Chain A
Amino acid sequence: MEWTSARITRTVKPFVFLAALAPVGWLVWAALTGNLSANPLSDITNETGVWTLRFVCVTLTLTPLRRLTGWNALIRFRRMAGLFAFFYGTLHLLTYVVVDRFAGLDFPDGIVAWATVRNLAASVVEDIGKRPFITIGFSAWLTMVPLALTSTAGMIRRLGGRRWNLLHRLVYATAVLGVVHYWWLVKADISRPLWYGVVVGILLAMRIYWARTRSASKVAGIRQPAGSPSV
């Protein structure tokens, strides 16, 4: 049998999928075996957050990388990378809700009570409104929700390529908000968020550059070959 691009993808995909689960697998293992720090709840919050940003970066890297290398198979991993960003982002949000909000509640009627649900909701809403870096972080997660919901082939068909592409440019906002969220929470050393900022900056700059050269060539009357969605 020939090693077609599709077949390579089919073979490789499960392994990539497992590798993408490794960070959460490692976190669960480390938490269960006491291999996190003396403040494991803080470790879990930090790690899920950082992995969200990493997967957003990976997602944004695939299109330019494909363009530079001509390796079209890369596009077949983009949805998976994006959904993993959403997966880690959701874990990060849930960790915050449980570890930062739920754990700080008063329980006047005991833990299993309607008051707990109400107070938790109020606490989360208040915090998102009050602390700017939480506002930004929550916004970053929100921008991923429509992208995850419209990630299926059926949704792409229903929306149509053009509208789908337009919608999925929201991921640029996710990346920028994610970096700002990280930046605003560090105490002194901004070098780590700065690095993510540089990566996101380069990835977005490449797109701006290509969009300009494309519109310039359009003006010159050169037709672009029809391609797949180009987020």
Chain B
Amino acid sequence: MLIKRPSDVRSSEITDKKLYLNRRDFIRASAVALAAGGAGLLGAEALVQAKGAPHGRKLTGIKKGVIAAPGEKINSWEDITSYNNYYEFGQDKDDPARTSGKFKTEPWTVTVEGECNKKGVMNLEDVLKGETLEERVYRHRCVEAWSMVIPWVGFPLANFIKKCDPTSKAKFVEFTTIADGRQMPGLSSPILDWPYREGLRMDEALHPLTILVVGLYDEVLPPQDGAPLRLAVPWKYGFKHIKSIVKVKFVEKQPINTWQEQNSAWYGFYSNVNPTVNPVRWTQATERRIGEFFMRKTLMFNGYGDQVASMYSGMDLRKNY
């Protein structure tokens, strides 16, 4: 190999300073272009961050502070409407916010079936008729070990159940989410057995903490959070809080919920928040509150034990998870 000695370099070969500076600019520009190209490689898995839902219609006549969460910092509208698990709209957390923009929630009907005297199809207006909307700030604990504090607006599910007039055979309530392939791109992935179904035992469904939600932060619920009608059961993992409900069925036998059907070793029927039972591959003992760095200890029944624990007395919660 020939090594050039310094004397071999003629002055004409020394790069002009102006060109040298241009070369630097060129490298800088190339670096930027390459970085952009590299970022482009992120492709389908790119975190194209969805912004929160735009602010929509205000709800009026809300009874404020019916249930508060003292000492808890409420998560922002942006957090609650941009970080969602709603697989019908896609599996990434930002998918629902990006793909549910044109979801039609009007007109909306709820079909009432099974062991009850008032079977039929109800318009959403009839579901809401006579109800006083209440603000309830609930802790929301996802089975994925993150949590939020959410100012829901809704009314007790018990009120709706009374309207349906269930018979003595009604031991459980089964709920079904809409499955409209034209509006919900996630339905094309057969990862769950659509439509999404969830269930509650009658005493759980009638519990005063269990609510049907129609709003958030005094506004109409955005689609990515389950508009126009969803469930909130704050002592249970988030996946029990079924969204965009189109059917309510009263049944005698314990129904099978979608996640239980998908993986019964991980997900049970009850799915009460329980830091001591870990059927999933990650731990349920701690959780990260969205917006915080340090994790918190997860509370039994998500901190609602005083109100709900008596419903499960005598039950082995290690088996009935």
Contacts and interface: CB of A to CB of B under 8 A. Distances in A.
B47 A22 contact: no
The 9 closest A-B pairs by CB, nearest first: A22-B38, A38-B83, A38-B79, A104-B295, A22-B35, A189-B191, A188-B191, A19-B34, A19-B38
A208 interface: no
A132 to B, nearest CB: 7
A15 B47 contact: no
Contacts of B294: 103-104
A177 interface: no
A37 B83 contact: yes
Contacts of B83: 37-39
Given A23-B38, A25-B35, A47-B47, A41 B189 contact: no
Contacts, number: 88
30 contacts: A15-B34, A19-B35, A19-B38, A21-B35, A21-B38, A22-B35, A22-B37, A25-B35, A26-B38, A26-B39, A30-B47, A30-B49, A37-B47, A38-B290, A39-B83, A41-B288, A50-B45, A103-B288, A103-B293, A103-B295, A104-B294, A131-B281, A131-B282, A131-B283, A132-B281, A184-B281, A188-B191, A189-B91, A189-B189, A192-B45
B224 interface: no
Nearest to B282: A131
Nearest to A127: B283
A18 B31 CA distance: 7
Contacts of B302: none
Number of chain B interface residues as a range: 35 or more
Contacts of A132: 281
Interface in A185-231: 185, 187-189, 191-192
B279 interface: no
A132 B278 CA distance: 13
A37 B30 contact: no
B146 interface: yes
Given A37-B47, A189-B189, A133 B281 contact: yes
A120 B42 CA distance: 33
Interface of B: 30-31, 34-39, 41-42, 45, 47, 49, 75, 78-79, 82-83, 87, 91, 93-94, 144, 146, 189, 191-192, 262-263, 281-283, 286, 288, 290-291, 293-295
Contacts of A103: 288, 293-295
Nearest to B82: A38
A131 B39 CA distance: 32
B86 to A, nearest CB: 13
A23 B42 contact: yes
Contacts of B47: 30, 35-37, 43, 47
Contact of A35 (B49, B281, B290): B49
Residue in A20, A22, A131, A185 with the greatest tally of chain B CB atoms within 10 Å: A22
Contact of A38 (B34, B45, B291): B291
A5 interface: no
A42 interface: yes
Nearest to B142: A39
Interface in A165-193: 184-185, 187-189, 191-192
A41 B293 contact: yes
A131 B4 CA distance: 59
A112 B82 CA distance: 35
A19 B40 CA distance: 11
A34 to B, nearest CB: 9
A133 to B, nearest CB: 5
Contact of B78 (A21, A23, A38): A38
A21 B36 CA distance: 11
B216 to A, nearest CB: 14
B82 A37 contact: yes
B291 A18 contact: no
Contacts of B79: 38
Contacts of A189: 91, 189, 191
A26 B78 contact: no
Interface string A26-63: 10001000011111011100010010000000000000
Given A38-B83, A103-B295, A188-B262, 19 more contacts: A15-B30, A15-B34, A18-B31, A26-B38, A26-B42, A38-B291, A39-B83, A41-B288, A41-B293, A42-B146, A47-B47, A104-B286, A104-B294, A104-B295, A133-B281, A188-B87, A189-B91, A189-B189, A192-B45
Nearest to A50: B45
Contacts of B37: 19, 22
Nearest to A184: B281
A154 B45 CA distance: 39
Nearest to A107: B294
